[in-house]
Amino acid sequence: MNASMNYLDGNAAGGELSRIFAVDITSAEGQCVNCGERRRFAEAHLYPDCPGLVARCALCGHVLLRLVTIEQRVFLDLRGMTYLTLDTTQPQQSSTQVSI
Ligand SMILES: [Zn+2]
């Protein structure tokens, strides 16, 4: 990894990932398959200027996620994470309104 490359935090991937996931995974916790570090996805280092989006582990730099859109197809590679977990008790941003 080139240390001089600029990156954003994982929150910047929220828009693109919302095209695939019904929940906001930037608040999810993932474990890096390389070093075992567990952190919120929002803390990942996001490189938006690669072909597609590339999120790297904030600790070791290993690739956690790659997202590439080619024409009408989206390719999502999550091999860099052992798991991704969400707290389902936390409210998600949604346009759903509940009537009382
Ligand atoms: Zn790592």
> How far apart are the CA of 70 and the centre of ligand 1, in A?
28
| Whole-number pLDDT of residue 91 | 63
pLDDT in tens, 62-94: 999 999 989 989 899 999 999 999 887 766 544
Task: Please say if the pLDDT value at position 98 is more than 50.
Answer: no
Task: Please say if the pLDDT value at position 95 is more than 60.
Answer: no
Residue owning tokens 């091999």: 79
Residue owning tokens 């095209």: 19
| Whole-number pLDDT of residue 92 | 55
> How far apart are the CA of 50 and the centre of ligand 1, in A?
19
> How far apart are the CA of 53 and the centre of ligand 1, in A?
17
| Residue-averaged pLDDT of the chain | 84
Please enumerate, as own/partner, the contacts of 82-86 that have beta carbons within 8 Å and a separation of 24 or more.
Answer: 82/30, 82/31, 82/32, 82/33, 82/36, 83/30, 83/31, 84/25, 84/28, 84/29, 84/30, 84/41, 85/28, 85/29, 85/30, 86/23, 86/25, 86/27, 86/28, 86/29
| Whole-number pLDDT of residue 37 | 97
Enter the pTM of the model.
0.74
